[in-house]
Structure 1
Amino acid sequence: MSAITAPMKRGWGLKQMGGMWGECAAEFLGTCVLILFGDGVVAMAVAALPGSGRAQSATTIFLASGDWLLITWGWAFAVCFGVYIAGGVTGAHLNPAVTLAFAVRRKFPWRKVLPYSLSQIVGAFVGAALVWWNYHDSINAYDHAAGKAGADLVNGHTNATFSIFATFPSPAFNGSMWGPLLDQIIGTALLLLCIAALVDARNTIVKANLGPLLIGFAVAAIGMSFGANAGYAINPARDLGPRILAYFAGFGELALPGTVHGPGGFSGYMWVPIVGPLIGGVVGIVIYDVVIGRALDARAALGAPEEAPEQVPPIDDDID
């Protein structure tokens, strides 16, 4: 199928959309789509499938690792298509941690960091609002059934349905913020390490515009490897925008400031998925530049050709 370019139209603010407004609009829409798919797949797993009679019961979730794989692959496709949508305009940061890391190590203009980040947060808020609009009946049905089954409710909602919108730490941390903070730093460092490698023309070149798909694969890998400790936000906008929406939707202190009382609870958690990814993103891209970037620069300066892999001579099986 051949590519089709939409015809140019007069008016429509084309001059303005060619500059910062257009870039912010692209970051807004790309992040909105990311959240629509990402929060949408969690809503499916947590509320819509049980509520539709397609699960063992009205409150059955996460019986096996397959449920987690549904979410990790859903988020992978969310990132992939969000990047494809906005990539031609901005390169599709869709994540303040990416924007900050590129400003620190990729000469991205500092004056654009705040506009991009705000656009991403607003896009995430709007995406979460659309998910809430579409799934609020299923969410309320799940919370009602869980409450009748004895689950703890905050303003009529459970921690499970809150997880559709934002992240929270495992009870294993016993309310400590240091473990989840480290988790977010490691996860986001891995994300930026992979992004830096995939967009680096000096490294193995990603062909046929497969970069967004492979970035999605990286997100899936992070979710499968580091997802359970703190929900692998690895993106301040992805967590903060939907968290604000959840607060206005009635989740109360579950959302802001991010507090759950009782054994294994936590207090004021909302800063962790903001600060952790911002630190981790810079750490990841610096590690890439120090280790891989310097090696690539050194090889280019020396004019060293790529070494072919060692050839193993064939084995002569003939018997005299």
Structure 2
Amino acid sequence: MSKTSGARGRMDKVKSKLRVRNTMVRQCMGEILGTFVLLMFGCAASAQVKTSRETKGEFLSVAMAFCVGLMSAMYLCGGVSGAHLNPAVSLSFCIIGRLSWKKLLPYSISQVLGAYLGSSLFIVCIDAIMDYNQGKLTVTGPNETASIFVTYPSEYLSLQGSFLDQVIGTATLLLCILPLDEKRNNPAPAGLLPVIVAAVVLGISLSMSSNCGAAINPARDFGPRLFTLTAGWGTEVFTCYNYWFWVPLVAPTLGAIVGTCIYLVFIQWHLPDPELYSISNYAYSYINICVVSGHFRSKLVCSIEIWPIS
């Protein structure tokens, strides 16, 4: 037996022992790791921009880092869990039937845990963070550092305005990503799905971040908020701005429901039935390989039209 065969055999034994056979556990592991990667990229970029006082990047750097993290995370765990990485997305998929309702809570907990762990890698920036504010970890003030990890409202923003901001942002997210794998519409190529979703999130970040950071993801905000609570910033991360912490939790959830319902009412319910859609695709393919006159072709197309526009 060669050394290569022996090493492969030992690796197969390790794989057999460590392989998780419970589907739900595998999916939760995927969501944990995926959300970990998302926050690792985003929080590291935010720390770099903040502590360098924007000499090593700016707002666009943070937005793009989050999107690269999102894209990488989707490629990483998409085949295992679907790469939701966001309780609002998981809720939306439950509503439209792409995810079982019994998986919503485990998915959401896994996403929060992954976000907590991802933000905990701030340890690589701890010296810069401590130097930024003379060794103090503060939530408010000109040299606060809590916003490296979580979102907070602008000083001018009202509670109603911030809530509406998060609802609209999350609804927009779902309206843009739900059609991407809808086979009866114009689905995106499977291999490009993470790239397109990342581009959508980048667009939302660049257009809707002014008010309160465009979290549009309860796990992305709540996981790091729990981390800052335990890492030395204290309970002020929950009590500041009149207990504003609940807005990035509740508003994106409502936004997911609103966006999903709009998609269903305006788009999905008006798409062809799946069986008729398959028949139509077959018929159109048959037409394309037949040599027929233009007149006969147009008559044949009209005769099999399953959803005439009138």
The TM-score range, normalised by the shorter chain, is 0.7 to 0.9
Out of 12, 17, 40, the position equivalent to 2:17 is 12
TM-score w.r.t. the length of structure 2 is: 0.80
Q: Which residue of 1 aligns with 2:188?
A: 206
- Aligned pair 1:303/2:310, yes or no? no
Instruction: Give distance in 2, aligned partners of 1:24 and 1:155.
Output: 32
Q: CA deviation at 1:281?
A: 1.0
Report if aligned partners of 1:193, 1:285 keep a CA contact under 8 Å in 2: yes
2:167/2:254 contact within 8 Å kept? yes
> Following superposition of structure 1 onto structure 2, how do residues 26-175 of structure 1 map, counting pairs within 5 Å?
26-47=30-51, 49-50=52-53, 55=55, 67-130=58-121, 132-144=122-134, 154=138, 160-173=144-157
Distance in 2 (CA, whole Å) between partners of 1:101 and 1:35 is 21
Q: Is the 8 A contact 1:128 1:242 kept in 2?
A: yes
Determine the C-alpha separation between the residues in 2 that align with 1:215 and 1:296: 22
Q: Which AA in structure 2 matches 1:41?
A: A
What does residue range 238-257 of structure 1 map to in structure 2 within 5 Å? 238-257=220-239
Does the aligned pair in 2 maintain the 1:33–1:78 contact within 8 Å?
yes
CA–CA separation in structure 1 for the residues paired with 2:97 and 2:82: 13
- Secondary structure class of the residue paired with 2:16: coil
Tell me which amino acid in the other structure corresponds to 2:152: F
C-alpha distance in structure 2 between counterparts of 1:303 and 1:156, whole Å: 60
Q: What is the distance in 2 between the residues matched to 1:270 and 1:159?
A: 20
Separation (CA, whole Å) in 1 of partners of 2:142 and 2:40: 21
TM-superposed deviation, 1:100:
1.0
Deviations 1:248-289 (A, max 9, x none): 1111234123x0xxxxxx210110000011111111121112
3-state DSSP class of the match of 2:133? helix
Superposed CA deviations along residues 279-312 of structure 1, whole A, max 9, x for unmatched, are: 1111112111211213323795962489xxxxxx
**Separation (CA, whole Å) in 2 of partners of 1:235 and 1:177:** 18
**TM-score, normalised via structure 1 length:** 0.78
**Residue 158 of structure 1: CA displacement?**
6.0
One-letter amino acid of the structure 2 residue matched with residue 11 of structure 1 = S
Check whether the contact 2:139–2:237 (CA below 8 A) recurs between aligned residues: no
CA contact (8 A) 1:143 1:157 kept: no
Report if aligned partners of 2:37, 2:73 keep a CA contact under 8 Å in 1: yes
More helix by share: 2
**Structure 1 residues 160 and 296: alpha-carbon distance in aligned structure 2, compared to 1, 3 A threshold:** farther
CA contact (8 A) 2:139 2:145 kept: no
Query: Is the 8 Å Cα contact of residues 116 and 227 (structure 2) preserved in structure 1?
Result: yes
Cα deviation digits, residues 160-214 of structure 1 (max 9, x gap): 42111100001112xx321111111011111111110212122222125100011
The structure that has the greater radius of gyration is 2
Checking the alignment, whether the CA contact within 8 Å between 1:143 and 1:158 is kept in structure 2 is: no
1:225 is aligned with what amino acid? S
Q: What letter matches 2:69 in structure 1?
A: A
CA contact (8 A) 1:144 1:156 kept: no
Partner in structure 2 of residue 234 of structure 1 = 216
Deviation at 1:13, TM superposition (A): 3.8
Distance 1:156 1:169, change over 3 A: closer
Unaligned runs of 5+ in 1: 1-6, 56-60, 148-152, 260-265, 307-320
Q: CA deviation at 1:157?
A: 8.0
Tell me how far 1:95 sits from its aligned partner: 0.5
The answer on 1:294 being equivalent to 2:260 is: no
Change beyond 3 A, Cα 1:196–1:296: same
The separation in 1 between residues aligned to 2:223 and 2:74, in whole angstroms, is 18
Partner of 1:268: 243
Cα shift readout 1:31-68 (whole Å, capped 9, x = no counterpart): 00000011111111111x34xxx82xxxxx9xxxx722
Q: How many correspondences in the alignment?
A: 270
Q: After TM superposition, give the deviation of residue 12 of structure 1 in Å.
A: 2.9
**What's the C-alpha RMSD, in Å, of the aligned pairs?**
2.5
In structure 2, list runs of 5 or more residues that go unmatched: 1-10, 281-304
Q: Distance in 1 between matches of 2:102 and 2:23?
A: 13
* Superposition deviation, residue 75 in structure 1: 1.4
Q: What letter matches 2:306 in structure 1?
A: G
